[in-house]
Amino acid sequence: MTVEEKVKKTDEIKGGADSKEAEEEPRIGVFICHCGHNIAGTVDVAKVAEYAKTLPNVVKAEHYMFMCSKPGVQMLKDSIEELGVNRTVVASCSKNQHGRTFANAIQEEGLNKHRHQQVNIREFNSWVHQKEKDKATEKAKKLVEAGVNRARKLEDVETRRIATTKAALVIGAGIAGLRASYDLAELGIPVYLIERLSTIGGHMTQLNKTFPTLECPQCSISPLTNGVANHPLVELYTNAQIKNVGGSMGNFEVEVEIKPRYVKDNCTSCGECSAHCPVEVPSEWDSGMSIRKAIYKAYPQAIPATFVRDKKNCIECNTCVNICPVKAVDFSMETETKTFKVGSIVVAAGYDEYDPSEIEPYHYGQKGFEDVITQLKLERMLAPGSLTNSQVLRPSDAKIPKSVVMIQCVGSRNDQVGNEYCTGVCCKFAIKNARIVKEMYPDTDVTICYIDVRTPGLNFEELYKSAQEVGVRFIRGRPSEIVRDPISGNLKVIVEDTLSMTPLQLKADMVVLSAAMVPPEGIGPLGSKLQVLRSKEGFLKEFHIKMNPTLSSKGGIFIAGAIQGPKDISESVAQAGNAAAIAAAPLVKGYIEKEMLIPSVDLDLCVRCGLCKTVCAPAAIQINDDGTPMVNEVACKSCGMCMPACPTGAIQLLNFSDKQLLDEIIPIAGGGAVCEDEL
Amino acid sequence: MVKEHTFAFFLGCIMPNRYPAIEKATKFVMEKLGYEILEMERATCCPAPGVFRSFNKFDWMVAGARNLCIAEQLDADILTVCNGCFGTLQEINKHLKENEEHRIQVNEKLKLLGDYEFKGIIDVRHVAEVLGYEVGPWGIEDHIVRKLNLKAAIHYGCHFLKPTRIREIESSEGPTIIEDFVEALGIESVRFKEQLTCCGAGGGVKAYSGDASMTIFGEKMKNIDEVKPDIILDICPFCHLQFETGQDYLNKNKECNYDYPVFHLSQVLAYCMGMDVDFIGLQYQMMGRDFIFGGEDVKKEEAI
Amino acid sequence: MSDVEEQQKNREFKTDDDFDTEFFKRIENRSNIMKCIQCGTCTASCESGRWTALKTRSIVRKVVLGDLSVLDDPDIWLCTTCYQCYERCPRDVKPTDVIMELRNYATKRGNISPNHRAVVGYLKNFGHAVPINDEVRKRRVELGLEELPPTAFKYKQEGDDKDLKKIEKYMFDLPPVKEEKKGEEK
Amino acid sequence: MSCEDIEPEVMEKIQDIVVFMCNECGQGSANTAGVARMAYNPAIRIVRVQCTGQVGPIQIMDALNNGADAVACVGCCLGACHFFNGNILSMHRIKLLKKVFKELGYSDQFVNQYTSRAAEGETAVGDFEDLVIRLSNAIREEGTIKDGC
Ligand SMILES: Cc1cc2nc3c(=O)[nH]c(=O)nc-3n(C[C@H](O)[C@H](O)[C@H](O)COP(=O)(O)OP(=O)(O)OC[C@H]3O[C@@H](n4cnc5c(N)ncnc54)[C@H](O)[C@@H]3O)c2cc1C
Ligand SMILES: Cc1cc2nc3c(=O)[nH]c(=O)nc-3n(C[C@H](O)[C@H](O)[C@H](O)COP(=O)(O)OP(=O)(O)OC[C@H]3O[C@@H](n4cnc5c(N)ncnc54)[C@H](O)[C@@H]3O)c2cc1C
Ligand code: SF4
Ligand code: SF4
Ligand code: SF4
Ligand code: SF4
Ligand code: SF4
Ligand code: SF4
Ligand code: SF4
Ligand code: SF4
């Protein structure tokens, strides 16, 4: 079959479900496979077939050399036609090996494929009990009986198609969010990009140079920021927050609150307003390293270029309103709430830098310790056009430090602050910055105190080496504290050089803390609005760490970039591309096809306790106003976890119900109740 | 519920047997502040955490529990004046309250020592914590009759705050409880280098290796001497002993010339609350005998 | 001792036979100790180790390796229990507790200094690690305190030594002085 | 000890063991074991479930009540559940059941939870062996679960 034919074929088999009513008398066909000697060499297949014949509802029981061969499959089909078999049991290899072959065969005959029960007597029996032929035969009988029992009550499972909304919503406009938006838009999908700040680009725009190549991040990101901002299919909303999320995979409804900029789009970015605004506050974008006004633009290349007024700090002097040559400042703008209908959501909310003041011995942020800064602050100092004019100047006296000590693993790999993980990026950016500083000031001693240097991957060990070559000193030891001489004000870093077993007191004009990357502020509420689960560290948890690291716990919601866990830029971009592709798939196709193998709730039994909802990881169960649970058939992943949670057995997964499993269990457990009176 | 405003007064070893003036001062202060002080008859050494726990942790717990039982029989929380006693008793008390297995084992052995059973009904307090947080700088003003004008090098010692997860008083990296309190007495705390390090006496080191102990202490004194305080202020008789004998040792063996008077928090507070200077006990101490408290009398009207 | 044995004894390297992986299996908090990343925060924090041979990190390392020589190491007696390492260890190893426990094992092997032995004697005889002397008795009277504090020792003086007798009998049993160690103690 | 060391009298009493294996790593590992012809005790009978998180006390008691000598759940490695956290739910459930068994005076070895890896048949076979050994110990000490009736 060519690929085109296959596509056509899947299109044909859609709701093939409503074929036959499940009520009729079960007529079961049983087929035992020899698999050459593979099964028949160990199991007496004839005996098993004889036994099968004795079981209720079995209208045919055969054994055959190769069931998966054309004649074998034909036997199956013929039995349906000739004997009116309406359920089939094939005892052969595993479900993965040929289960599907037989299921498809009966489907071709008009039976729902879920009416086939595969019994594995090869991998689970003949191959593992080759030396115990009698026992293997006995076991095969029991397995076949179990299969027949199970087959008796199998119900049809409908395959349904749900049309999807061809639009996507991306949360967070850092590098990951931008990449995902752009890729989605290029696939022809309209994108709503939601950024909570007034500018896009995220942390990457704050960096000075990016490892391993030490390129200018502004230069690398600006084609993307411009590309996204000008893409006809991308609608960008800044100063925006997610308020509410409804619906499920394929069809979400997202309510977004957009705070006003108080400056209209005709703003020419002339900067007059800002120049005359009397209010000065520390710039968040500049990591507090410089001052901005109450009406401002975060940085000259910021996108959108329109200025923004910070209502919280504004004293409403109206200077800006009056001075603006194009009358762009407008205080009457109001918060808007918009609702977007989208098929997929990509969350790319990034990270925050860990606040090291929690680690008290380092005294970050305390009086007298102004020269203890974080790497992000150092990046801001080094960046072009910074307040220090790209020089490294210590905050206390604006002098070039003669000794810089960097401390690694601040807030990472630390059980006491609860971040057990290794950020994985800080070794790389510390080495990057150490090398840059050392190259700028060859007379300055630059030291990195580390526990382990973690620089895996192409180009990174090379980066490490290059820093060693220019003379960065590496000391293996985690500093216990930074002490300040109360008289001279000098700082010292206390550390053991574990390799020579010497406690050291390092003079430090400036200390740079390589702080961890932690989940961004507000991720808790965002996570609960999206109904996605989070890892214990607070990042959004992927569905499967290896096989599906871009899907969240909930279908239709994808994760990209540092929100899933600390990542560098390349990894964020790579993940964003993948998120875009899998988020786009159902939207491009136009529908989601899903087997309705879902639980149903017996409302007579249900006591409205809501326990089923609590265990459902994909958040497929909603509780109605009257307290009854409702299964969202699109979101449900057919795991059955809700079943044992229910105290009354009201919620039962189709074809895996307690009763159906019991039927299967009885023969293989030895058959028949043991002590009825007691249990 | 244990009795309010009542403490079982745990003496320990060094205070009653070396610096009885601290005992006198503490009693004076606490009674003036309206607390009833009960004697813990037949108490023993806490036993000291550094030494006895090193030899046999289980017996250390049993002996500590015995002292706790004496207070339980008095139905009152324990008041300690020493970081070591506090460390031992607070830790054992908390541990046995939480760990049932050990509680059973300890109670088993306690039977051998007399009519004792650990029940876990009291708490263990340190006088500095009671003063700092319960009386508070806000509450002491009314009781002060003399206000000082002094610079003090404050030494917290180790076991008052650490392990912070067990003591649960305050962070050990930048504590201010004593600073805040003595400010009300007119005492200014002078910061010195590595202020929060150990005096070198604990952990059995003073007994095990006098040399090592004195080396650690010598550095401490050097840092204190840099800021030239008027007095050294501690909250633990064992640190007190180290500061007293240590200065003397350094003077005799290391060509130093230190003469800083050393006071326990209770002593300076007793002075400010009007105790006779002779009872402060400076005349019995080795260092700073020429020291004069000075300060001004606070007139009653002013105080109100 | 044969030449070969002599040579074996002086070798610089260690073999698996030098380690006892069983011994420390019973140590409290073992799972955390095994998680030590040898970061050196403890040693750098150590106020004793800055001046003495005590290197906290290497003590923890020896426990992890099962190197029983740590029990004969006099350094473990140099910890002042300042708890600085305990406070700061990023892996929650609680080195202070580890050292205290090692001292327990060392004591069982008879590694206990004469001074420490004496302190135990004081506790058994006087109920105090630091007993009272005549000078202080006098001072107590001058200060208006009872001459003897009301502790177990006072009752012993008054002829009632039931408390101290029991403490002497049941508490802090020390092993006999270790022969070969005698001369080495400082 | 290994399964070979179990005395025939005890082995005699191990006839039917019901093992619930999830659709992912559980089934996968047992298939891999089969492909590699790794022999194990024929008393092991595998029931396919979607996820071990689907197996509740009902299924476990159904199996025991119908003559099984022991029951086990085999799911993916902790943290690698293909349905997010079903194996952890199951683990907690089985821990609770073990407690109940103990309180009722039965050995807590009649019900166990395991993990396996699809690509490694030996993980499944190792689980089965462990299961049989534990069961044999329990039988030796306290008799079979049927004796308790
Ligand atoms: C000091 C330092 C130096 C670094 N140097 C390098 C380097 O040299 N090379 C390199 O590859 N990597 C480097 N990194 C890592 C790099 O910063 C990250 O890999 C990258 O920024 C991650 O991108 P992101 O889009 O996932 O997250 P972010 O850049 O954090 O973007 C997330 C965006 O989402 C927005 N957002 C957050 N929450 C919400 C919400 N609730 N609603 C709407 N929007 C929201 C944020 O405002 C932000 O704009 C460095 C990191 C640090 C700390
Ligand atoms: C010992 C070891 C242990 C590991 N353990 C882990 C682990 O625990 N967890 C983890 O996440 N990762 C682990 N990895 C890494 C993991 O194996 C790789 O990340 C992963 O397999 C990479 O997948 P791939 O598809 O890129 O490459 P591959 O798996 O190598 O697949 C490449 C395929 O391309 C085919 N191919 C090659 N050249 C051509 C050609 N010219 N034409 C056509 N076909 C070609 C090859 O035959 C092969 O089938 C481990 C690696 C090793 C060596
Ligand atoms: S169906 Fe399976 S068992 Fe039967 S012949 Fe084919 S491969 Fe072998
Ligand atoms: S708001 Fe007006 S004054 Fe301000 S930058 Fe824009 S155009 Fe210029
Ligand atoms: S009104 Fe507000 S934003 Fe405008 S200039 Fe005045 S303070 Fe600045
Ligand atoms: S990347 Fe390096 S500095 Fe960052 S947590 Fe890992 S080891 Fe520590
Ligand atoms: S089977 Fe139940 S628990 Fe699993 S996804 Fe569906 S509703 Fe949720
Ligand atoms: S757990 Fe069962 S009883 Fe409770 S709400 Fe869900 S279906 Fe109803
Ligand atoms: S601080 Fe903790 S983890 Fe680090 S070396 Fe010491 S014991 Fe090990
Ligand atoms: S507790 Fe002991 S080992 Fe730890 S830092 Fe203090 S003296 Fe050093």
Contact D68 A658 (CB under 8 A): no
Closest Cα in chain B to C92: B165
> For residue B147, what are the β-bridge partners?
B296
Tell me if A445 sits within 8 A of A403, measured CB to CB. yes
HSE-CB for C148 with a 13 A CA cutoff = 19
Would you say residue C185 lies in a domain? no
Contact D56 A668 (CB under 8 A): no
Task: State the pLDDT at residue A2.
Answer: 58
Is the beta carbon of C98 within 6 A of some atom in ligand 10?
A: no
Phi/psi for A365 (5° steps) reads 85, 0
Measured in Å, residue B215 CA sits from the centre of ligand 10 at 15
Q: What residue type is D9 in one-letter code?
A: E
Q: Please, what's the b/e burial string for B103-124 (b: 16 or more CB within 10 A of its CB; e: otherwise)?
A: beebbebbeebeebebeeebeb
Contact C128 B17 (CB under 8 A): yes
In CATH, A24-157 is 3.90.1200 = no
What does the DSSP assignment read for chain D? --GGGS-HHHHHT---EEEEEETTHHHHHHHHHHHTT----TTEEEEEES-GGG--HHHHHHHHHTT-SEEEEEEPPTT--TTSSHHHHHHHHHHHHHHHHHHTTS-GGGEEEEE-BTTBHHHHHHHHHHHHHHHHHHHHHH--TTTT-
Any idea which fold D3-138 has? Answer: Rossmann fold (3.40.50)
> What total number of domains does chain C contain?
2
Task: State the pLDDT at residue A16.
Answer: 42
- Contact list, B171 vs chain A (CB under 8 Å): 360
User: What integer best gives the mean pLDDT of chain A?
Assistant: 92
Surface-to-core class of residue A593, CB atoms within 10 Å of its CB (0-12 exposed, 13-18 middle, 19+ buried): middle
Would you say residue C1 lies in a domain? no
- The ranges assigned to domains in chain D are 3-138
Is the beta carbon of A623 within 6 A of some atom in ligand 8?
A: no
Task: State the pLDDT at residue A679.
Answer: 39
Contacts of A104 (CB under 8 A, 6+ apart): A113
How far is it, in rounded angstroms, from Cα B8 to Cα A177?
65
Contact A128 D58 (CB under 8 A): no
Is the beta carbon of A653 within 6 A of some atom in ligand 7?
A: yes
Tell me if B199 sits within 8 A of B124, measured CB to CB. no
- What pairing do the DSSP bridges indicate for beta strands B150-155 and A280-282? unpaired
pLDDT at C55 over 70: yes
Would you say residue C136 lies in a domain? yes
Confidence of residue A4 (pLDDT cuts 50, 70, 90): low
Task: State the pLDDT at residue A19.
Answer: 44
> For residue A600, what are the β-bridge partners?
A652
**Which one of A612, A628, A641, A658 would you pick to mutate in the ligand 8 pocket, going by the greatest count of ligand atoms within 8 A of its CB?**
A612
Distance from CA of B166 to the nearest CA of C (A): 11
Measured between alpha carbons, how far is residue A229 from residues A116, A184, A222 in Å? Answer: 53, 14, 10
Q: What does CATH list as the number for A261-334?
A: 3.30.70.20
Phi/psi for A394 (5° steps) reads -75, 140
CATH class of B6-126: mainly alpha
User: What integer best gives the mean pLDDT of chain B?
Assistant: 94
Distance from CA of B249 to the nearest CA of A (A): 26
Tell me if B129 sits within 8 A of B75, measured CB to CB. no
Closest C-alpha to D67, from A268, A255, A142: A142
Segment A479-492 mean pLDDT: 94
Contact B55 C174 (CB under 8 A): yes
Task: State the pLDDT at residue D147.
Answer: 72
Ligand nearest to the CA of residue A474, numbered in listed order: 6
Question: D57-65 and A658-668 helices cross at what angle (nearest 10)?
Answer: 30
ipTM of this predicted structure: 0.81
**Which one of A280, A312, A314 would you pick to mutate in the ligand 5 pocket, going by the greatest count of ligand atoms within 8 A of its CB?**
A314
Task: State the pLDDT at residue C186.
Answer: 38
Contact A479 C90 (CB under 8 A): no
Any idea which fold A596-654 has? Answer: Alpha-Beta Plaits (3.30.70)
Contact A679 D31 (CB under 8 A): no
Cα-only R_g, chain A: 33
Chain A within 8 Å of D50 (Cβ-Cβ)?
Answer: yes
Is the beta carbon of A476 within 6 A of some atom in ligand 6?
A: no
Task: State the pLDDT at residue A677.
Answer: 44
Is the beta carbon of C60 within 6 A of some atom in ligand 9?
A: yes
pLDDT at A676 over 50: no
Tell me if A254 sits within 8 A of A345, measured CB to CB. yes
- Which residues 19-78 of C have a C-beta within 8 angstroms of B? 47-48, 50-52, 77-78
pLDDT at A385 over 80: yes
How far is it, in rounded angstroms, from Cα A634 to Cα A631?
9
Distance from CA of B190 to the nearest CA of A (A): 9
- What pairing do the DSSP bridges indicate for beta strands B231-234 and B187-189? unpaired
Placement of tokens 């420390």 in the chain = C24
HSE-CB for B237 with a 13 A CA cutoff = 26
How far is it, in rounded angstroms, from Cα C75 to Cα B205?
10
Domain identity same for C162 and C98: no
Closest C-alpha to C118, from C129, C105, C127, C107: C129
Is the beta carbon of A493 within 6 A of some atom in ligand 8?
A: no
Task: State the pLDDT at residue A22.
Answer: 47
Task: State the pLDDT at residue D119.
Answer: 86
Contacts of C133 (CB under 8 A, 6+ apart): B17
| Pairs of residues, one from chain A and one from chain D, whose beta carbons lie less than 8 Å apart | 159
Contact A486 B171 (CB under 8 A): no
- What pairing do the DSSP bridges indicate for beta strands B231-234 and B296-297? unpaired
Reported as a single tens digit per residue, the pLDDT across A193-209 is 999 999 999 999 999 99
Contact A479 C49 (CB under 8 A): no
Mutate to test the interface with A, among D13, D24, D31 (most CBs of A within 10 A): D31
| Pairs of residues, one from chain B and one from chain C, whose beta carbons lie less than 8 Å apart | 198
Structure tokens at A280: 């000065």
Is the beta carbon of C87 within 6 A of some atom in ligand 10?
A: no
What does the DSSP assignment read for chain B? -PPTTEEEE---SHHHHT-HHHHHHHHHHHHHTT-EEEE-TT------HHHHHHH-HHHHHHHHHHHHHHHHHHTSEEEE-SHHHHHHHHHHHHHHHH-HHHHHHHHHHHHHHSS--------EEEHHHIIIIIIHHHHHGGG-SEE--EEEEEE--STTT-SHHHH-SS-SSS--HHHHHHHTTTEEEPP-TTTTS--S-TTTHHHH-HHHHHHHHHHHHHHHHHH--SEEEES-HHHHHHHHHHHHHHHHHS-------EEEHHHHHHHHTT--HHHH-GGGSSS-TT-----EEPPHHHH-
Nearest residue (by CA) to ligand 5, atom 8, is A277
3-class SS of residue A621? strand
Any idea which fold A162-259+335-351+520-594 has? Answer: FAD/NAD(P)-binding domain (3.50.50)
Task: State the pLDDT at residue A11.
Answer: 47
HSE-CB for A62 with a 13 A CA cutoff = 18
How far is it, in rounded angstroms, from Cα A236 to Cα A340?
12
Is the beta carbon of A372 within 6 A of some atom in ligand 7?
A: no
- The ranges assigned to domains in chain B are 6-126, 136-297
Chain A within 8 Å of C39 (Cβ-Cβ)?
Answer: yes
Tell me if D78 sits within 8 A of D118, measured CB to CB. no
**Which one of A319, A321, A322 would you pick to mutate in the ligand 5 pocket, going by the greatest count of ligand atoms within 8 A of its CB?**
A319
- Contact list, A504 vs chain C (CB under 8 Å): 44
Structure tokens at B64: 């500590």
- pTM higher than 0.90: no
Chain A within 8 Å of D46 (Cβ-Cβ)?
Answer: yes
Q: Please, what's the b/e burial string for A321-357 (b: 16 or more CB within 10 A of its CB; e: otherwise)?
A: bebbeeebbeeeeeeeeeebebbbbbbbbbbbbbebe
pLDDT at A9 over 80: no
Domain identity same for C84 and C166: no
Would you say residue C2 lies in a domain? no
Placement of tokens 């094992």 in the chain = C105
pLDDT at A510 over 90: yes
Q: Which stretches of A34-154 are DSSP H helices?
A: 37-40, 45-53, 70-83, 100-108, 133-152
Reported as a single tens digit per residue, the pLDDT across C96-113 is 999 999 999 999 999 999
Contact B193 A485 (CB under 8 A): yes
Domain identity same for C74 and C125: no
Domain identity same for C103 and C152: no
Closest C-alpha to A397, from A367, A364, A365, A370: A370
How far is it, in rounded angstroms, from Cα A557 to Cα A552?
6
Confidence of residue C51 (pLDDT cuts 50, 70, 90): confident
Chain A within 8 Å of B191 (Cβ-Cβ)?
Answer: yes
**D and A adjacent (3 or more CB pairs under 8 angstroms):** yes
Nearest CB partner across the interface for B216, out of C48, C119, C128: C48
How far is it, in rounded angstroms, from Cα C64 to Cα A402?
40
Q: What residue type is D26 in one-letter code?
A: G
Is the beta carbon of A631 within 6 A of some atom in ligand 8?
A: no
Would you say residue C10 lies in a domain? no
Mutate to test the interface with C, among A448, A475, A478, A483 (most CBs of C within 10 A): A478
Reported as a single tens digit per residue, the pLDDT across A611-627 is 999 999 888 999 999 99
Surface-to-core class of residue B56, CB atoms within 10 Å of its CB (0-12 exposed, 13-18 middle, 19+ buried): buried
Dihedral over Cα of A7, A9, A10, A14: its sign: positive
Nearest residue (by CA) to ligand 8, atom 6, is A612
- Atom index in ligand 9 nearest the CA of residue C98 equals 7
Q: What does CATH list as the number for A353-518?
A: 3.50.50.60
Confidence of residue A12 (pLDDT cuts 50, 70, 90): very low
Nearest residue (by CA) to ligand 7, atom 4, is A639
How far is it, in rounded angstroms, from Cα B230 to Cα B235?
17
Reported as a single tens digit per residue, the pLDDT across B123-151 is 999 999 999 999 999 999 999 999 999 99
Measured between alpha carbons, how far is residue A632 from residues A596, A598, D55 in Å? Answer: 10, 9, 22
Tell me if B10 sits within 8 A of B3, measured CB to CB. no
- Atom index in ligand 10 nearest the CA of residue C82 equals 6
Q: Which domain holds residue C19?
A: 15-108
Would you say residue C58 lies in a domain? yes
Q: Please, what's the b/e burial string for A464-501 (b: 16 or more CB within 10 A of its CB; e: otherwise)?
A: bebbeeeebbbbbbbbbbbbbbbeeeebbbbbbbbeee
Confidence of residue A402 (pLDDT cuts 50, 70, 90): very high
Distance from CA of C55 to the nearest CA of A (A): 8
Nearest residue (by CA) to ligand 1, atom 15, is A568
CATH 3.30.70.20 domain range(s) in chain A: 261-334, 596-654
Chain B within 8 Å of C137 (Cβ-Cβ)?
Answer: no
Placement of tokens 């507000």 in the chain = A522
DSSP code for A534: B
Measured between alpha carbons, how far is residue A608 from residues A477, A600, A649, B228, D53 in Å? Answer: 57, 14, 12, 74, 21
Measured in Å, residue A513 CA sits from the centre of ligand 1 at 18
Indicate left, alpha or beta for A604 from its phi (over 0: left) and psi (-120 to 50: alpha).
alpha
Chain A within 8 Å of B171 (Cβ-Cβ)?
Answer: yes
Q: What is the CATH number of the domain that holds C103?
A: 1.10.1060.10
Measured in Å, residue A325 CA sits from the centre of ligand 10 at 68
Domain identity same for C94 and C121: no
Segment A463-478 mean pLDDT: 97
The end-to-end CA distance of chain D, in Å, is: 29
Nearest residue (by CA) to ligand 4, atom 8, is A270
Q: What does CATH list as the number for B136-297?
A: 3.40.50.11810
Q: How many CB atoms lie within 10 A of CB B263?
A: 30
pLDDT at B58 over 90: yes
Which parts of chain D have pLDDT scores under 70?
148-149
Q: How many CB atoms lie within 10 A of CB A255?
A: 15
Distance from the Cα of residue A469 to its chain's centroid: 39
**Chain A residues contacting B, CB < 8 Å?**
360-361, 363, 366, 481, 483, 485-487
